[in-house]
Structure 1
């Protein structure tokens, strides 16, 4: 990779980004109990606005969509207005920022939702446990969504997208990865429906396709993006027929004019990444994981760009290195993130990572 590769501008949706490095969405659980953005969150994103493109932490589109404590929301005007301090901070620094739209589906305890039961494709609990302020609890058995529930959820995605654009975001991203609601519809074990929202490949991709089109109708396809994690096994996901599912999904969506597709690569699945790249005609953002062992950030960026990505998204490296673009251009060195401060807490491990000297 040369500096020329890294610093080439690129048109992404309605925005031209200054470089090919993105900050991937990372939950940090620093919002208020009612999902409002804080001044500290605005500072956090401002510090990292050297990224060509930022995608925010997962942001719930309704109370029922919430899975974890103190995560931000985008389902009322007060929450949207609280996000404005973030968009203004990033734009003041010359950056671009998309808001990630989140629905946890079967994940998360009812205490995270004001007592509301989880909604999911089918009455199948995720394996393992989930975090609450009172500690770990078993994942609950969700309610199977009715057709009306599904259509209401699609409307919530659209409404949240409108609120995000009103708050100054350059665009929005549907979180279709990591075992949350859209991917639960893809998974045969989580989705045992036999109606038009399940069963064969066409039925299982329908929720994601319809969600993207609802968002595009609300704010324009050029302001909409999708994040996927094909072949992941997190939170009990087993797609079984990954290549068929995502080939069919991208065939449906590829001609709609979306801003970008954002792929979380699984280790050892570079061939699948190449297949998806070939199927997607627009901007292709890659969070590369060619091998199980992570590469240093500058090598990861070079690897991602050489694999055909237009933009490379990194996560934890941004968490610990607010000036990551500068560090990558120099080939390091890099701060190591403190895992004990990832979720919740104060400014320690959030705003206090030192910049590169000199």
Structure 2
């Protein structure tokens, strides 16, 4: 018996039986080409990783003109729906489950990636960083503050993306409320300086996120909907004055939706902000809680065994180890990821990592 056996206990979410507690976190890999259309290479990549309890597919453009990476996928066209069907069919053929992460980049959407269009955000505050574009690395630009009367079209875009994800054969969807993209930009007070019904109080700053979640739950049974948040993460120039309080308030409020799960990034990539956001999330959220960021198998098993989490989403380890659950079960060594191929366009460093059987 392995000390990590608890990670292989099944988990029920609504009417879904999840085979294990080892989930695949969403990982942007830029393999969808210039038209943002998923393809056979992506289908192979995700099918290789079908032994995850749930695969959360990479951040996917909910609507046209909100690209924040080069060659990431979308879910707003018929061709993209057909491309994602290749992926979901391949994963289901291997017995896996896959959710699609619905995303709008907000102020991270550089004009060079979006036909010259100025990005939108809660407030006219730029990200202090550069972005990879077809024209090389360029500084981020000052976004335009969304008007209140434009917000319904954003919500409608997420709802249509949820409809399209269902048409593409996904098992559910995850709303991307993390990492300094549009919904997170509204949520946190470092990037949201607006007044009116979408700014100021925490309740107002959370309004857009909750309206999107509500719209998505009109399309999907709420148990097929998850939400990812990153209250501490300073990536994309993000900050909040009270990340612990934000987490507690939001975790409590989300109970109104009876969601499938809440997916919490527990830390900050850059260690600018520190704190424990998982404890208030566990205390106040009544559903399945998924932790993410920097877990190894032993720590994941310890967290699940102690009741702190119900599952753990692994990012980089799944990137380099398509058979990660089997490796954890066998206490086998892990492949080392090749960072040089994270955002390239070929099969190298994407579908060619060896499994235990192929060593």
Q: CA offsets, 1:29-86, max 9 Å, x none?
A: 0002111111000000000001011000100011222111110000122211210011
* SS at 1:190 equivalent: coil
* Distance (Å, rounded) in 2 between the aligned partners of 1:13 and 1:305: 19
Q: Summarize the Cα distance change of 1:78–1:32 in structure 2 as closer, same or farther, 3 Å threshold.
A: same
In the other structure, the counterpart of 1:219 is: 220
* SS at 1:106 equivalent: helix
Q: What are the equivalent positions in structure 2 for 1:169-184 lying under 5 Å apart?
A: 169-184=170-185
* Distance (Å, rounded) in 1 between the aligned partners of 2:47 and 2:29: 15
Q: CA offsets, 1:104-163, max 9 Å, x none?
A: 000031121122210110111111111112211111111110112211101100100010
Does 1:343 pair with 2:325? no
In the other structure, the counterpart of 1:94 is: 95
In the other structure, the counterpart of 2:298 is: 299
- Contact 2:121–2:146, Cα closer than 8 Å, also in 1: yes
TM-score, length of structure 2 as denominator length = 0.94
Q: CA offsets, 1:152-181, max 9 Å, x none?
A: 101100100010011110100011111111
Q: 5+ residue gaps in structure 2?
A: none
In the other structure, the counterpart of 2:321 is: 321
After TM superposition, give the deviation of residue 301 of structure 1 in Å. 2.2
In the other structure, the counterpart of 2:38 is: 37
* Distance (Å, rounded) in 2 between the aligned partners of 1:248 and 1:97: 29
In the other structure, the counterpart of 1:292 is: none
Number of positions where the alignment pairs a residue of Structure 1 with one of Structure 2: 352
After TM superposition, give the deviation of residue 288 of structure 1 in Å. 4.5
- Contact 1:298–1:332, Cα closer than 8 Å, also in 2: no
* Distance (Å, rounded) in 1 between the aligned partners of 2:276 and 2:33: 42
TM-score, length of structure 1 as denominator length = 0.94
Q: What's the RMSD between the two structures over aligned residues? A: 1.6
* SS at 1:68 equivalent: coil
Q: What are the equivalent positions in structure 2 for 1:282-293 lying under 5 Å apart?
A: 282-289=287-294
After TM superposition, give the deviation of residue 306 of structure 1 in Å. 3.7
Q: Summarize the Cα distance change of 1:306–1:3 in structure 2 as closer, same or farther, 3 Å threshold.
A: closer
Q: Summarize the Cα distance change of 1:167–1:62 in structure 2 as closer, same or farther, 3 Å threshold.
A: same
Q: What are the equivalent positions in structure 2 for 1:71-220 lying under 5 Å apart?
A: 71-220=72-221
Does 1:281 pair with 2:286? yes
- Contact 2:66–2:109, Cα closer than 8 Å, also in 1: no
Deviates more, 1:164-173 or 1:125-134: 125-134
After TM superposition, give the deviation of residue 247 of structure 1 in Å. 2.0
* Distance (Å, rounded) in 2 between the aligned partners of 1:319 and 1:89: 17
Structure 1 consecutive aligned stretches of length 4 or more whose deviation exceeds 6 Å? none
